[in-house]
Structure 1
């Protein structure tokens, strides 16, 4: 059927799919050999995620997060419990090719042809906005952990729920942290991709930074996905900024950092939204990634006490066990897991897989997980969730803000390029 099974490019996920996806039972509940637990038909969930194109890296990380949840449900919990009956889950993946319109087409296919009962969201706000239309049209709950733009949630949709903080909060913590630095990086250059998420972030910066005493001396947009950004960085350098803020994605963040080095733009602080939290940012830039700051939905330094699922240390261990990675998971991975957890708890609370009753349960959901509190406002957004700030130091991610979760001190100002 053209279904894609390895968004991260690893044979591991194909193996996990074989292990964790059990062919749906034809009939109702059955009793296992012990006679103590009933098992029912599988719950089928559709997920169109980027496995190719410009968002393939982030899509692969999201899929890793979903698969950690699938492994836990099917192999640890032996299914989602609905009125005493255990239901394992099948997640059916499709590759949207990093094309938002394709996400919508594939989600409709997953519902119509593959009989998906629920949807998990794609990677990115633009794709999530198109997928939300399909969820609304078919009245199928979609829970997502990778789309934060207001455009997803300001249209009155009733069937889409996002577990992550709004885009408007992404750089707020960075600005709050910077306002207390000495010397204060008062002159700010803002670069932004022109997709809905990045523009939401930038709009919030334009409003909030002056309130905190910053002077925006450069503010320019570039086409989403552009990697030839030397000209724009050169213009920003001419404004002599103390702090460079970029609202974009992995490929653009790498390009801007490379251009900053090539042009010897020595700001005191470099902060980018999406990109630095991923392993690929460090592997692409090596030591040039040091000192870069980024906002994060989650890091392993957070101290939430979950009501179910893994604790934060257990989650990190599960990630390393399943991916054979040496690095810790980033927030894209955690966001993918969080969407599954929210859907699971809503199904359990509803006591049924009826989509309308599960939707109602999502509107009432309030649960603390390893990812933080998941609770949705009237628009379906998790607007009370705080963010943290991390920095790359000696090739590793450390959490530097806020103080109550920080496990390292911010290295500031950034060393000049010639001294790195």
Structure 2
């Protein structure tokens, strides 16, 4: 019995000593993300993007540093679509869970709050879920984002429409008064002026509102050729429904967020037809990728796992994770934050989002925005011309 007891003690000591070695075989990432609340649709799509990356990398052996492979693990917390809660949870990830490699949340307000926490504690964040310009004007060193910034969101859409027949001349812009949507609207206004449109309506509305009838009536009185909506998924559904109710019939309706989500058509059915959406990414792009091999392979793997086609929220999450992975591999470490940061600053590689480079603020540079249109109940890439699946339908038929 004494010998058995002695052996148990020895084995326990061996396990305790070996535990750090086993732990070192895993690289832990952390994410506070909207799994419930008003941004749950988008947040869960970003999480799905993280998960397909994790699964694919681990099937290939893991992240390679030197001659050794490390498995990937991601610890999630639900921020409930609350930026303040998101910040507290990222602080918990860093200070209690000991994780300094942070995958970003969804939404500019949550990225704004959480990136400040990452900066405070010397953690590193790569995010594929927010595009507000304001994220990159604070002098931070530890935030990198893969989205085209908000002020450039609607530029390609307005550029695409400028020479259509009959020529559109007037634009109405309506936007939610959150950080991201406000900056999208500011950029849309600047782009409209650049392309020679006359802006006949420019107004915000309270974040999260469920009734925009007053706004729709005001816009109808201006009779714009193009209606631009800058908000989130729930906002776009309200705008479309109430535009139909009040017979607001512009030649084109376009949104910064909404049409790219699978639930847009589910929620609106036939009323979603002909609506344009700005997209960070679409499934038909022909980019290569260091993890999946190609954009087409990513789409296939995602559909196989989740039984739905990915949209740009999911692809953004995957791309952010891939960039994080490649920077760690290039740096040759997953613990030296400074070396990983330097690898990100010098990043220049083709990914699902195209060739990605960052400026000194961590903002992606040189990346455009494809435009999709809902046609026969499906998203179709209609711009730019060299990747378009079909020609855009313009002008939009009146509501039935």
TM-score range, shorter chain: over 0.9
State how far apart, in whole Å, the 2-side matches of 1:312 and 1:159 are: 28
Report how far residue 233 of structure 1 moved.
0.9
Which residue number in structure 1 is paired with residue 258 of structure 2?
275
Which residue number in structure 1 is paired with residue 20 of structure 2?
27
State how far apart, in whole Å, the 1-side matches of 2:264 and 2:88 are: 31
Paired residue secondary structure (1:299): coil
Paired residue secondary structure (2:302): helix
Which residue number in structure 2 is paired with residue 343 of structure 1?
324
Paired residue secondary structure (2:288): coil
Where does 1:180-259 land on structure 2 (aligned, <5 Å)?
180-259=163-242
Report how far residue 307 of structure 1 moved.
4.1
Contact 1:43 1:117 in 2 (8 A): no
Paired residue secondary structure (1:26): helix
State how far apart, in whole Å, the 2-side matches of 1:183 and 1:276 are: 24
Q: Within the alignment, does 1:48 sit opposite 2:32 as a pair?
A: yes
State how far apart, in whole Å, the 2-side matches of 1:393 and 1:385 are: 25
Rg (Cα) greater in structure: 2
1:143 corresponds, among 120, 123, 126, to: 126
Report how far residue 134 of structure 1 moved.
0.9
Report how far residue 308 of structure 1 moved.
4.2
Which residue number in structure 2 is paired with residue 63 of structure 1?
47
State how far apart, in whole Å, the 2-side matches of 1:267 and 1:26 are: 64
> What's the CA shift string for 1:194-239, capped at 9, x where partnerless?
1111111111122221221111111110112112111111111111
State how far apart, in whole Å, the 1-side matches of 2:296 and 2:237 are: 29
State how far apart, in whole Å, the 2-side matches of 1:206 and 1:70 are: 39
5+ residue gaps, structure 1:
1-24, 30-38
Contact 2:46 2:313 in 1 (8 A): yes
1:99 corresponds, among 82, 95, 100, to: 82
TM-score, structure 2 as length reference: 0.93
Mean alpha-carbon deviation: is it higher for 246-255 or for 302-311?
302-311
Where does 1:12-411 land on structure 2 (aligned, <5 Å)?
26-28=19-21, 40-75=24-59, 77-325=60-308, 328-353=309-334, 354-411=336-393
5+ residue gaps, structure 2:
1-17
State how far apart, in whole Å, the 1-side matches of 2:331 and 2:283 are: 31
Contact 1:139 1:356 in 2 (8 A): no
Report how far residue 391 of structure 1 moved.
0.2
State how far apart, in whole Å, the 2-side matches of 1:203 and 1:98 are: 24
> What's the CA shift string for 1:38-84, capped at 9, x where partnerless?
x9521111100001111000001111111110011112x11100111
Paired residue secondary structure (1:264): coil
Contact 1:277 1:296 in 2 (8 A): yes
State how far apart, in whole Å, the 2-side matches of 1:245 and 1:219 are: 10
What is the number of equivalent residue pairs in this alignment? 382
Which residue number in structure 2 is paired with residue 33 of structure 1?
none
Contact 1:103 1:127 in 2 (8 A): yes
State how far apart, in whole Å, the 1-side matches of 2:322 and 2:175 are: 32
State how far apart, in whole Å, the 1-side matches of 2:210 and 2:387 are: 34
TM-score, structure 1 as length reference: 0.89
Contact 1:44 1:115 in 2 (8 A): no
